[in-house]
A and B are shown apart, each in its own frame.
Chain A
């Protein structure tokens, strides 16, 4: 089946530094990718939707200057957490779909555990 690879799986960084998380679709072209954030024992909250070659659409309350999303190719989207702070520590999950409509299947990465010290 379709595979989405997310890297790194875990990262620890110091406060004030930036961290980049990659999301790759390995065997299909991902027209659209979604980035979610999950706090401990809570649900997944959609952060942004990215389409290849265009600017990401951020959900209300998500700082676009802090969470930079780049979807430069049909197989790669990156999320950069800039000037990270301890409150950014969370589990970030990407998902990718080959289509733009609601019928197109979604495939999830295994997530990235970010810890900011």
Chain B
């Protein structure tokens, strides 16, 4: 079945440091890939997505490129801020047309803490 593996956390960085959170996936079809962010005590927010190979998703300074050859979707940000402290989830969703309910499969989440 489908699966998503994220680098283990927690990740602790100083403000303005470079961030990489690794994500690799296993899927039988051609999934869409997502990064979600969860701030303390809140639900999930879509951060960015990519729907096909070589697509780059970007938002709020974060970006990730859909690499089919390495089955990866690593999240990067050049300069993190304290406000980026949150849990980040990588996820995939099969695009199996009308027969699929399109459920998301999540990675285990990576806790990011950014210190001033």
Binding site for B on A (CB under 8 A): 6, 32, 34, 41-44, 46, 49, 51, 57, 93, 95, 97, 99-104, 106, 108-111, 113
Query: A110 touches which one: B42, B95, B98, B100 (CB < 8 A)?
Result: B42
Chain B: CB-nearest residue to A10: B41
Complex alpha-carbon distance, A95 and B100, angstroms: 16
Q: Are A108 and B44 interface neighbours, CB within 8 A?
A: yes
Q: Are B94 and A42 interface neighbours, CB within 8 A?
A: no
Complex alpha-carbon distance, A44 and B104, angstroms: 10
Q: Are A102 and B42 interface neighbours, CB within 8 A?
A: no
Identify the stretch in B11-19, B67-75, B107-115 within 8 Å (CB) of chain A at 4 or more residues: B107-115
Inside 8 A of B44's CB, which chain A residues have their CB? Answer: 44, 93, 95, 108, 111
User: A30 to chain B: closest CB distance in Å?
Assistant: 12
Query: A102 touches which one: B41, B94, B106 (CB < 8 A)?
Result: B94
CB-defined A-B contacts under 8 Å, sample of 26: A34-B101, A43-B89, A43-B109, A44-B44, A44-B89, A44-B104, A44-B106, A46-B105, A49-B103, A93-B43, A95-B44, A97-B102, A100-B101, A101-B98, A102-B31, A102-B32, A102-B93, A102-B94, A102-B100, A106-B93, A106-B102, A108-B36, A108-B46, A110-B42, A111-B43, A113-B41
**In the assembled complex, B97 has its CB within 8 A of some CB on chain A:** yes
Query: B109 touches which one: A32, A42, A103 (CB < 8 A)?
Result: A42
User: B102 to chain A: closest CB distance in Å?
Assistant: 4
Chain B: CB-nearest residue to A97: B102
